[in-house]
Amino acid sequence: MKRPNIVILGAGYGGMITTVRLQKMLGANEANVTLVNKHNYHYQTTWLHENAAGTLHHDKTRMKISDVVDTNKINFVQDTVLSINSDEKKVKLENGDLEYDYLVVGLGFEAATFGISGLKEHAYTISNINTARLIREHIEYNFARYNNEKEERQDMLNIVVGGAGFTGIEFVGELANRVPELCEEYDIPREKVRIMNVEASPSVLPGFDEELVEYAMNLLEGKGVEFKTGTMIKEVHEDKILVEKDEQQEEIPTNTVVWAAGVRGNSIVEEAGFETARGRVKVSDTLLAPGHDDVFIVGDCALIMNEENDRPYPPTAQIAMQEAENVAHNLKVLVRGGSDLEPFEPNLKGTVASLGEGQAIGVVGDKKLFGWTASVMKKIIDNRYLFMLGGVGLLLKKGKFNIFTK
């Protein structure tokens, strides 16, 4: 009997957990499982803001796939996905094609630019290890150049972060810790540096508890972060941006704009012909793409509605991991000839947002967490994922154990 080919695209949270679960659930003779990823490493997306600010080295954030996945059981292909042909059940890669019987799509996100002029050309995004490294080096280069310029250039010391959701707030929290260190290193007075967070909504962290938001804003403002809420970025240029609030426009000199105001699913999914909304597929209750019984979608590419408020669940790491567990179980059922697939039910255990070293806010169950307590909880959550992924060995190698530092 022919062994079915299971192909998993992307080694993000969804792809990796699906892979390691199948590695344990299926015998070697039950299926051929192939994981495809552009790089030979997996990384913690939820730590990228620390890499971008320069408060955590990127090698701490990434781990080799071969250190987590048993390549005797899983076929790992390091290649770039170009397209998906669901009619022919083929995936086109840069260096060849793969045929599948079952496909798991976990290709991650892209920045949503909303048509803002110049954003794509002149703004940075915190989207992977390489973009995070680029942001860190760009900021440090600006500080290093500042005192070597013939004239003072304020655009080099103005850092603008577009968006006050999780990524934007966590990033400015890390910047608020990093900037004083850079000022000391490069002999620049701290008061010359501006960290600005621009958000179109009337408040930061939309949807978060008001008391927690107030705590976060007070803390960050105390560290020198300026919030410009109810303000839209209209244009981004090489050395300035144009913002608008209450029909009043303002020009801000800056050559550092970090865009963290929106994501969409990978465009490959859209181009494959699946029904999408901003690149995300509204999946069935078993995480199958509509009209397909052989294509599962997980992570940033999956759109799942919360029936309680008729809004999509945010595409968080927590949701992606739970989706992956569900998909791995359902693939085991299908491989073994079953048809009774288990519906996916999100189980949100809580949310924690970092505000820099030793500070965070969060909600776990119905309990609000502030400051150091929330920061400890964030480390516990991060360490739990490492344990789920690679057991004690990976946890000891990559975990965050010192509750007073990173």
Number of Cβ atoms within 10 Å of the Cβ of 275: 12
DSSP secondary structure letters along 328-392: HHHHHHHHTT---PPPP-----EEEEE-STT-EEEEETTEEEEHHHHHHHHHHHHHHHHHHHHHH
- Kindly list the distances between the CA atom of residue 286 and the CA atoms of 224, 269, 300, 350, 361, in Å, as whole numbers in the listed order: 46, 18, 16, 23, 33
Amino acid at 393: G
DSSP secondary structure letters along 145-174: HHTTSSS--GGGTEEEEE--SHHHHHHHHH
Residues 60, 322: Cα–Cα separation, whole Å: 24
Number of Cβ atoms within 10 Å of the Cβ of 30: 15
Kind plus residue range of the DSSP H or E element containing 15:
helix 13-25
| C-alpha 48 chain-centroid distance | 8
- 3-state secondary structure (DSSP) of residue 26: coil
- Largest CA-CA distance found in the chain, in angstroms, rounded: 75
Active site (annotated) includes residue 99: no
CB 315 within 8 A of CB 300: yes
- 3-state secondary structure (DSSP) of residue 296: strand
Number of Cβ atoms within 10 Å of the Cβ of 230: 14
| Token couple for 117 | 């002029």
Out of 50, 170, 270, 357, pick the active-site residue. Answer: 170
Annotated active-site positions, please? 170
